[in-house]
Amino acid sequence: MAQEKNRKRVKIGLLGSGTVGGAIQDFIFKDQKRPDLDLEIVKIFTRHPEQKRWYSTYPKLFTTNPLEVVEHPEAEIIIEALGFQNDQQISEFKDYIIRAFKSGKGLVTSDKAVLARHGREIWDAAARYGQELRFEACVGGGIPIIRSLTESFAAEEPTAIYGIVNGTCNYILSEMAKSGKSYRVALREAQECGYAETNPESDISGSDAEAKLILLAAVTFGVHVQPGKLWRQGINKIHAMDFLYAAKKASCTIKHLAVARSVGASLQAFVSPVLVPRSHFLSSIDGATNAIFFKGRRSEDDASREQPESRDWNYVFVGPGAGGGATAVAVLGDVMDLARGRRQRVTGPPSLVAPGVLGLHSPDEILASFYIRFVVTDRAGIVGDICQTFGERDINISEVWQLSHSDEELRRLAAGCGKDIGSRKILPFVITLEPATVKQVKQALEIVGQQDYILLPPIWFPIWTD
């Protein structure tokens, strides 16, 4: 009884009642076992309250007016867990966050798109009104990466942070790798399992991973990047055939990665499919799981001595990257932190490196070895012509890979070409490049892509190196 008396009651306003918002309601309405805190939702904004599972139990808590949440006189902390469909909504959600600060409330968000697009304005508003902003749930689902970076690694000198940050993409690629499923079949299964939305564009295009990488870059390196300024590729052009080449010719698999690493005085950052060696721990990350790798200079020597095979990272964080439950746990962890009075700086995202120390590396100047898969008309001289085009742009070819393909594989390729061509007249093959810049590869492929023997646009992405 005495313990119950000492519990602090914390009143919460909730923006959103979708996958994450619904899971937050489940936690709070069903579970009040925290010894020191009693969380109470005082108002919930959603567009269609009558469709929500807790509406029949608590109809008076629901509203279709978001301002009733952000300006609620009793709410101390606002949770923003809204799902957006377009850029206008992102701007609206930003306004809700700022109004919450203006109303004297701390805010916890799972909305990485809003922070990636309007982060500076939001942090400025938090500072202006003296309020707290927390965003652990924006990156990595249930992985506590933001808190680890800002607290556990506060004394580190970061050199790289990278990994799998989109569970939808990883599920799709994992299914294609394991069983040779087509991209479309794997995507449909991801939607049926609840890992992909009905409109999966933000996931498969890489824009979701880009937003998460923008936040990781800000926290790790103090570099603020606007969406659209990074080199970004999605997964929708990957074919089951690419996994055959990756496995049989290079003992690799394909993962969709978000990468940020310091190169001299600049930050190299990109989102793309990457050819990853089977020897790398990333290759074993399966399904909708996320994995984020961190490398710091101070602990680099110790890690290399103890585990030479993992010299390209010091620490790895693995956990559920999709689903309302994992994200809700991260959101409520931030809520409890705020409720217990733990404060951070409000001038911007806490960073391991002072803002302005590193500049953003030009996306066109990113240097890497590349995998390029072609589908061409089968006739003499084509490989030589392509290699000559690359050579004229000072790009060295490392290897040419060609596998024997089944009639079924070739028929599927022929159907995708949109041309009246028999499967026996199709030639798929891969070339790998020695290190070249993104700009060089783009220029070479622009010329090759104009040739009449090209049946499908070439697919190209980096090969992982330490």
Which of 91, 329, 331, 112 shows the shortest CA–CA distance to 202? Answer: 112
Q: Is the dihedral of CA 316, 322, 326, 330 positive or negative?
A: positive
pTM as predicted: 0.92
> According to the CATH classification, is domain 2-134 in 3.40.50.720?
yes
Parallel, antiparallel, or unpaired for β 426-437 and 367-377? antiparallel
Query: For residue range 169-179, what is the model confidence (pLDDT) as tens digits?
Result: 999 999 999 99
pLDDT at res. 341: 82
The residue-averaged pLDDT of 104-124 equals 94
Max avg pLDDT among 153-162, 185-194, 295-304, 436-445: 436-445
398 CA to centre of own chain: 30
The residue-averaged pLDDT of 409-427 equals 77
pLDDT at res. 306: 54
Q: Tell me the C-alpha distance between 371 and 430, whole Å.
A: 7
Look at residue 14 and tell me whether its pLDDT is greater than 80.
yes
pLDDT at res. 326: 85
Look at residue 442 and tell me whether its pLDDT is greater than 80.
yes
pLDDT at res. 325: 86
Max avg pLDDT among 60-64, 146-150, 341-345: 60-64
Q: Which ranges in the chain are annotated with CATH 3.30.70.260? A: 363-463
The active-site residue, picked from 94, 212, 255, 295, is: 212
- The CATH architecture of the domain made up of 363-463 is 2-Layer Sandwich (3.30)
Q: What is the CA radius of gyration of the chain?
A: 24
Q: Tell me the C-alpha distance between 441 and 435, whole Å.
A: 10
Query: For residue range 195-235, what is the model confidence (pLDDT) as tens digits?
Result: 887 788 999 999 999 999 999 999 999 999 999 999 999 99
Q: Which ranges in the chain are annotated with CATH 3.40.50.720? A: 2-134
The residue-averaged pLDDT of 380-404 equals 95
Look at residue 119 and tell me whether its pLDDT is greater than 50.
yes
Let me know how long the chain is.
466
Q: Tell me the C-alpha distance between 287 and 165, whole Å.
A: 12
pLDDT at res. 348: 65
Q: What confidence category does residue 356 fall into, taking pLDDT thresholds of 50, 70 and 90?
A: confident
Which of 249, 139, 236 shows the shortest CA–CA distance to 459? Answer: 236
CA distances from 347 to 88, 102, 119, 342 (A): 26, 15, 11, 16
pLDDT at res. 465: 83
Are residues 354 and 222 in contact, defined by beta-carbon separation less than 8 angstroms?
Answer: yes
Terminal-to-terminal C-alpha distance of the chain? 57
- The CATH architecture of the domain made up of 150-321+351-360 is 2-Layer Sandwich (3.30)
Q: Tell me the C-alpha distance between 202 and 168, whole Å.
A: 10
Lowest mean pLDDT among 297-311, 333-347, 392-406, 451-465: 297-311
Parallel, antiparallel, or unpaired for β 397-401 and 289-296? unpaired
Are residues 403 and 245 in contact, defined by beta-carbon separation less than 8 angstroms?
Answer: yes
What is the overall mean pLDDT for the chain? 90
The residue-averaged pLDDT of 93-99 equals 96
Q: What confidence category does residue 397 fall into, taking pLDDT thresholds of 50, 70 and 90?
A: very high
Q: What confidence category does residue 1 fall into, taking pLDDT thresholds of 50, 70 and 90?
A: very low
- Percent of the chain with pLDDT strictly greater than 90: 72
Lowest mean pLDDT among 224-228, 268-272, 367-371: 224-228
Q: Which ranges in the chain are annotated with CATH 3.30.360.10? A: 150-321+351-360
Higher pLDDT, 358 or 291: 291
88, two tokens: 């206008």
Q: What confidence category does residue 2 fall into, taking pLDDT thresholds of 50, 70 and 90?
A: very low
Q: Tell me the C-alpha distance between 419 and 422, whole Å.
A: 9
212 is catalytic: yes
CA atoms within 13 A on the CB side of 318: 11
Look at residue 322 and tell me whether its pLDDT is greater than 70.
no
Higher pLDDT, 310 or 405: 405
Look at residue 408 and tell me whether its pLDDT is greater than 90.
no
